[in-house]
Amino acid sequence: MARRRPQVMGILNVTPDSFSDGGRWADVDSAVEHGLLMAAEGVDWVDVGGESTRPGAVRPPLEEELARVVPVVERLTEAGVAVSVDTMRAEVARAAVDAGARLVNDVSGGLADPRILEVVAATETSYVAMHWRAHSDRMQQLASYDDQGGVVAAVCAELAERVAAIRSAGVPDDRLVLDPGLGFAKTAEHNWQLLRALDELEALGFPLLVGASRKSFLGSLLASPDGTPRSTSDREHAHSALVALLADRGVWGLRVHDVRATSDALAVWQRLRYDLPADSLEGHATGRTTGQEPSR
């Protein structure tokens, strides 16, 4: 087995309303500063997003999303940071790639705006296609998986349909990463079932990205005896355990809020698994973002 660590994708939500960091990096200067801090902490990609996808969120107008995302992508790219753009819109993907982004992270896998696939194909960027059923105002109504095989079979089948659409738009297989979409039209139980079934998702033939950081299934796991979920700011220890387990499982990437905590968990995993210090594995960030493509 190749000795490599997962790519760490640091979350930079330039939004007023994301579930755990909404409003914290809502202006260009503070967003850039936070992106640079994550780069210094060893992140491989900074994932810049201008639309909150929290359950119930209302979509920003296109112009608003462009104004949030593009200047931040531009300034981080100029500073040498590897940037991905978290968007469902073709226009935003195109503008972000023109500003220097090298990966398009589309939580809808091309369902929200199929023209995004043409942008990805034409610009030869890498592409993360996440499992998704509907926009945030409606997605939790669609969290039912009653057919045989339950959530795992349905997510695999629906992702396979996306792969077919992505291929026919001309995106080569070695640019594609799949993501089970934890929390998107999924209950906590669905998320755990998917995390237990990564083999089946991997059988689709693509590297996997997992975004579990601070999500509500960790809050409900750690709920107090009266049922109050653990707050978003206090889910990091549980997430670090998951980071080490997912690294051991060989996922391609982890989308995270706390880069330092993630790097620490990966250092423990590397030392134990390979008897190697933190800085010696392929993929290790050396204070500069590595931004490794899925094909590598």
Residues engaged in binding ligand PMM (CB under 6 A): 11, 13, 18-20, 53-54, 86, 105, 107, 128, 130, 179, 181-182, 209, 211, 255
Residues marked as catalytic: 215, 255
For ligand PMM, the closer CB: 48 or 266: 48
For ligand PMM, the closer CB: 94 or 215: 215
What is the smallest separation between the CB atom of 57 and ligand PMM, expressed in angstroms? 9
When CB distances to ligand PMM are compared, the closest residue is: 211
What is the smallest separation between the CB atom of 126 and ligand PMM, expressed in angstroms? 12
According to DSSP, residue 27 is labeled S
What is the smallest separation between the CB atom of 105 and ligand PMM, expressed in angstroms? 5
For ligand PMM, the closer CB: 86 or 258: 86
For ligand PMM, the closer CB: 242 or 278: 242
The answer to whether 50 and 63 are in contact (CB under 8 A) is no
What is the SS3 string spanning the chain?
Answer: CCCECCEEEEEEECCCCCCCCCCCCCCHHHHHHHHHHHHHCCCCEEEEECCCCCCCCCCCCHHHHHHHHHHHHHHHHHCCCCEEEECCCHHHHHHHHHCCCCEEEECCCCCCCCHHHHHHHHHCCEEEEECCCCCCCCHHHHCCCCCCCHHHHHHHHHHHHHHHHHHHCCCCHHHEEEECCCCCCCCHHHHHHHHHCHHHHHCCCCCEEECCCCCHHHHHHCCCCCCCCCCHHHCHHHHHHHHHHHHHCCCCEEEECCHHHHHHHHHHHHHHHHCCCCCCCECCCCCCCCCCCCCC
For ligand PMM, the closer CB: 60 or 181: 181
Query: Which of 101, 8, 7 has the alpha carbon at shortest distance from 49?
Result: 101
What is the smallest separation between the CB atom of 204 and ligand PMM, expressed in angstroms? 15
What is the smallest separation between the CB atom of 280 and ligand PMM, expressed in angstroms? 28
What is the smallest separation between the CB atom of 128 and ligand PMM, expressed in angstroms? 5
For ligand PMM, the closer CB: 18 or 289: 18
